[in-house]
């Protein structure tokens, strides 16, 4: 079956043996060209990042993948065991857990409750915001805080997608 991913330092995938990963994404697929190999690799990465909600992994650049393909993958002819070992070695070295900057979340979590109270007080004198008085503070403050944290998450995801 193969070793579990946790042995490679990739947390969360300890229940999926490496043999299954290789068999599902590479064993029976045509990977004779870099384009075919890259498509299989992208499919693997997409599923890799969706298995654990909230858990993301930084994957190697296309140049690193191409180097692995040219220097290693192409040179192994027909030996699935060697391809599997080479691929798992590449994954162990090049895939890492995505880093997250928590300061944005902390600032949103600290500032949002005070902002919610200020917004609600301001709403008493502005006709368009008068309806905020209908929502009790017990509901309004946590919902406003949650919306602020979700906004911080969206901003961080947008920034990350701009700078690979």
Contacts of 95 (CB under 8 A, 6+ apart): 10, 48, 57, 58, 59, 60
Closest listed residue to residue 81, CA positions, set 39, 123, 27: 27
Round the CA-based radius of gyration of the chain to a whole number and report it: 23
- Looking at the predicted structure, is the pLDDT value of residue 56 above 70? no
Query: Domain limits of the chain?
Result: 5-97, 103-162
Specify whether the CB–CB gap between 12 and 21 falls below 8 A: no
Predicted TM-score (pTM) of the model is: 0.47
Specify whether the CB–CB gap between 156 and 100 falls below 8 A: yes
pLDDT in tens, 93-120: 887 776 666 777 788 888 889 888 888 8
Distances (CA, A) of 129 to 50, 108, 138, 140, 144: 39, 22, 18, 13, 14
Contacts of 32 (CB under 8 A, 6+ apart): none
Split at pLDDT 50, 70, 90, the class of 85 is confident
Q: What is the mean pLDDT of the chain?
A: 74
- ∠ CA 74-77-80, nearest 5°, is 105
């Amino acid at each position: 079956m193969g070793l579990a991913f946790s042995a490679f330092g990739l947390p969360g995938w300890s229940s999926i043996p490496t043999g299954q990963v290789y068999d599902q994404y590479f064993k029976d697929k045509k990977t004779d060209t870099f384009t075919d190999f890259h498509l299989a690799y992208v499919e693997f990465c997409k599923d890799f990042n969706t298995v654990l909600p909230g858990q993301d992994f930084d994957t190697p650049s296309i140049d690193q993948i191409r180097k692995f393909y040219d220097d290693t993958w192409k040179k192994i002819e027909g030996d699935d065991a060697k391809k599997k070992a080479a691929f798992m070695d590449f994954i162990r070295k090049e895939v890492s857990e995505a880093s997250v900057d928590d300061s944005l979340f902390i600032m949103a979590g600290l500032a949002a409750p005070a902002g919610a109270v200020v917004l609600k007080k301001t709403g008493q004198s502005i006709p368009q915001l008068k309806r905020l008085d209908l929502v009790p503070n017990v509901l309004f403050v946590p919902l406003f805080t949650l919306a602020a944290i979700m906004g911080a998450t969206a901003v961080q995801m947008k920034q990350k997608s701009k700078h690979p």
